[in-house]
Amino acid sequence: MKAHLVIAVIALIHGTYATLLIKGPTEPILEGDMVTLECQYSDSDLNISQVHFEYFSKYMNSWRAISERSWCFYRMPVTRTENSLLLFIPHAGVYYEGPYRCVSDSDNVTAPDNSSLPLALKVHYMGALMLSREGYSSYLSTPQDLKVRRGDEVVLKCSASSSEEPKYSWYKEGSDWVLPSSTLTLRKMSEVDEGRYTCVAEHSVEALNKKRSISITVLPEDAPWYESSNGRLILMTSAAAASLVVFILSVTAFLCLRAKRVKTRKGPIDDRSQIKPIYKTSVDSLPSTCGDKQPLV
């Protein structure tokens, strides 16, 4: 991460009121950079302790005061010096973008004379450059060495997540042509089309430019179909499908066998559900309430 010098100045002057200034980086801000914003008065005798930072929330559609805990875990420390108020962004990201301004809390000045002009903060970034082949799922990465059969058609596309739409181009090493497009189409492949192809993504900030290469090999006409990248992909997909089928059948057989065992298994006798026998000796020992003893049936 690099720290940007606080040089650029945006000022607002209203009549005889003092000028509030907000200073920010003069160089483009890259994702991950350390950024410092500064509030100052043009008149150093004024009390900077009555000034705070604000950012414009597009969700609330209003200006919101910034404190060190305003951004949850995206902590932005605020420090006061004798003549300035400093706001530190330790790790710039897209969530820090937006207008910022300095606002005075003094009762002697009211809006809009109590604030500086807004300072727009733009964070530039570009993610990894991705290569994909037309007709194939984006979830399957394109190999660095692509093997195709003679006469095949190859359509390659490169893309990247970026703060702005990059300018894409393709070129082949050893050739003098450049294709200004994100898509490269090669029809009826032959041996002359073999080589290393490179996609370049250019950002307005040169430091973010990226490129990615892929080698293409054309197989002989008598080469087995499974030696091509297409054939290997088919074999891999078939093997994965076969493994899935075997797994499903195994689980189904296990569940059926388990259900059969449960059905045929005899449970323990529930003594509470059985009628317990009455022994004659116990009955004979009981006093008779009907005169003579009755035989036990």
Task: Using pLDDT thresholds of 50, 70 and 90, give the confidence band for residue 228.
Answer: very low
Residues 275, 194: Cα–Cα separation, whole Å: 90
Do 111 and 14 share a domain, yes or no? yes
What percent of the chain stands above pLDDT 90?
40
Task: Using pLDDT thresholds of 50, 70 and 90, give the confidence band for residue 142.
Answer: low
Our measurement of the distance from residue 28's CA atom to the centroid of its chain's CA atoms, rounded to an integer in Å, reads 24
Mean pLDDT for 104-111 is: 78
Residues facing 123 on adjacent strands: 29
How does strand 167-172 pair with strand 195-202? antiparallel
Half-sphere exposure of 60 (CA within 13 A, CB side): 8
Do 93 and 184 share a domain, yes or no? no
Question: What's the confidence (pLDDT) of residue 171?
Answer: 96
Do 21 and 93 share a domain, yes or no? yes
Kindly report whether the global pTM for this prediction surpasses the value 0.85.
Answer: no
More confident residue, 254 or 53: 53
Mean pLDDT for 229-246 is: 47
Residues 246, 240: Cα–Cα separation, whole Å: 10
Does 170 map to a domain?
Answer: yes
pLDDT of 66 over the 60 cut: yes
Does 164 map to a domain?
Answer: yes
Task: Using pLDDT thresholds of 50, 70 and 90, give the confidence band for residue 232.
Answer: very low
Instruction: Return the minimum-mean-pLDDT range out of 59-68, 258-267, 286-295.
Output: 286-295
Does 153 map to a domain?
Answer: yes
Single residue among 174, 208, 231 that ends a domain in this structure:
231
- Contact criterion met (CB below 8 Å) for 154 and 194: no
Task: Using pLDDT thresholds of 50, 70 and 90, give the confidence band for residue 146.
Answer: confident
Residues 37, 5: Cα–Cα separation, whole Å: 9
Our measurement of the distance from residue 60's CA atom to the centroid of its chain's CA atoms, rounded to an integer in Å, reads 24
Do 12 and 73 share a domain, yes or no? yes
Tokens standing for residue 225: 């179909």
Residues 156, 142: Cα–Cα separation, whole Å: 9
What CATH number did the domain enclosing 108 receive? 2.60.40.10
* Ramachandran angles phi, psi of 231, nearest 5°: -65, -40
Do 205 and 141 share a domain, yes or no? yes
Mean pLDDT for 267-273 is: 50
Domain extent at residue 146: 130-231
Mean pLDDT for 274-278 is: 53
Single residue among 79, 105, 124 that ends a domain in this structure:
124
Do 90 and 156 share a domain, yes or no? no
Do 46 and 107 share a domain, yes or no? yes
Do 16 and 73 share a domain, yes or no? yes
Mean pLDDT for 172-198 is: 93
- Contact criterion met (CB below 8 Å) for 125 and 115: no
Do 199 and 156 share a domain, yes or no? yes
What counts of helices (H) and strands (E) characterise the chain?
A: 2, 19
Distances, alpha carbon 27 to alpha carbons 31, 95, 154, 199, 224, in Å = 13, 19, 41, 27, 56
Question: What's the confidence (pLDDT) of residue 177?
Answer: 93
Do 217 and 140 share a domain, yes or no? yes
More confident residue, 166 or 144: 166
pLDDT of 230 over the 80 cut: no
Single residue among 208, 231, 254 that ends a domain in this structure:
231
pLDDT of 88 over the 90 cut: yes
- Give the DSSP per-residue string, 65-114: E--TTTTTTS---EEE-SSEEEEEESS--GGG-EEEEEEE--TT--TTTT
Do 120 and 139 share a domain, yes or no? no
The total domain count for the chain is 2
Question: What's the confidence (pLDDT) of residue 117?
Answer: 92
pLDDT of 37 over the 80 cut: yes
